[in-house]
Chains A and B, each alone.
Chain A
Amino acid sequence: MAIRNIREIGDEILNKKCKEVTEMTDRTRYLIEDMLDTMYEAGGVGLAAPQVGILKRIVVIDVTGEDPYVLINPRIVESGGEQTGSEGCLSIPGKAGIVTRPNYVKVAAQDAEMNPFELEGTELLARAICHELDHLDGHLYVEKVEGDLTDVVPAEEDEE
Chain B
Amino acid sequence: MAENTREIVLDTLLEMERSRIYSNQMIKAVLDKYDYLEGQDKRFIKRLAEGCVERKIELDYVLNLYSTVPVNRMKPLIRCLLRMSVYQILYMDSVPDSAACNEAVKLAGKRKFTNLKGFVNGVLRRIISRKGQIPLPDENADPLQYLSMKYSMPEWIVQLWLGEYGREKTELLLEQLLAIHPVTVRFAGWVTGEAREEYIRRWQQRGIRVTRSEQLDYACYLEGVEGLAGLEGYAEGAFLVQDVSSMLCVEAAQLQEGDRVMDVCAAPGGKALLAAQKAAHVLARDVSEQKVERIRENARRMGLEEKLTLEVWDATQPQESRAESADVVFMDVPCSGLGVLGKKRDIKYHVTPESLESLVQLQRQIVEGSWRYVRPGGVLMYSTCTIHRQENEDMCSWISGHFPFVLEESRQLLPEDGRMDGFFYARFRRKEQPPI
Q: Which of B320, B377, B434 contacts A83 (CB 8 A)?
A: B320
User: Chain B residues near A158 (CB, 8 Å)?
Assistant: 377, 429
Q: Which of B386-436 contact A (CB under 8 A)?
A: 429, 431-436
Of the candidates B254, B429, B433, B436, the one having the most CB atoms from chain A within 10 angstroms of its own CB is: B436
Q: Which of B254, B321, B372, B432 contacts A96 (CB 8 A)?
A: B432
Main secondary structure of the interface of B (DSSP, over half): loop
Of the candidates A83, A86, A93, A154, the one having the most CB atoms from chain B within 10 angstroms of its own CB is: A86
Q: Which of B320, B432, B436 contacts A84 (CB 8 A)?
A: B320
Q: How large is the interface on B (under 10, 10 to 19, 20 to 34, 35 or more residues)?
A: 10 to 19
Q: Which of B320, B375, B429, B436 contacts A87 (CB 8 A)?
A: B436
Of the candidates B321, B431, B434, B435, the one having the most CB atoms from chain A within 10 angstroms of its own CB is: B435
Min C-beta distance of B431 to chain A, whole Å: 7
Q: Is the CB of A131 within 8 A of B429?
A: no
| A57 at the B interface (CB under 8 A) | no
Min C-beta distance of B360 to chain A, whole Å: 23
Q: Which of A145-160 contact B (CB under 8 A)?
A: 152-155, 158, 160
Contacts A153-B377, A158-B429; is A83 near B436 (CB within 8 Å)? no
Instruction: Look across to chain B and name the residue whose beta carbon is closest to the beta carbon of A127.
Output: B436
Q: Which of A45, A154, A160 contacts B436 (CB 8 A)?
A: A45
User: Chain A residues near B429 (CB, 8 Å)?
Assistant: 158
| A31 at the B interface (CB under 8 A) | no
Can you list, as one digit per residue, whether each of A120-140 has a CB less than 8 Å from chain B (1) or not (0)?
000010011001100000000
Counted as pairs of residues, one from A and one from B, with CB atoms less than 8 Å apart, the total is: 64
Instruction: Look across to chain B and name the residue whose beta carbon is closest to the beta carbon of A63.
Output: B434
Q: Is the CB of B435 within 8 A of A42?
A: yes
Instruction: Look across to chain A and name the residue whose beta carbon is closest to the beta carbon of B320.
Output: A84
User: Chain A residues near B432 (CB, 8 Å)?
Assistant: 86, 88, 96, 152-155
| B376 at the A interface (CB under 8 A) | yes
Min C-beta distance of A37 to chain B, whole Å: 16
Q: Which of A70-86 contact B (CB under 8 A)?
A: 82-86
| A89 at the B interface (CB under 8 A) | yes
Q: Is the CB of B320 within 8 A of A82?
A: yes
Instruction: Look across to chain A and name the residue whose beta carbon is closest to the beta carbon of B430.
Output: A86
Q: Is the CB of B436 within 8 A of A85?
A: no
| A50 at the B interface (CB under 8 A) | no
Q: Is the CB of B435 within 8 A of A84?
A: no
Give 6 nearest A-B pairs by CB, closest first.
Answer: A88-B435, A46-B436, A84-B323, A131-B436, A86-B433, A86-B376
A-B contacts besides A84-B320, A90-B435, A96-B432, 6 pairs, CB < 8 Å: A43-B435, A45-B434, A45-B435, A86-B375, A96-B435, A98-B323
The residues of A with any CB-CB pair to B shorter than 8 Å are 42-46, 82-90, 92-93, 96, 98, 100, 124, 127-128, 131-132, 141, 152-155, 158, 160
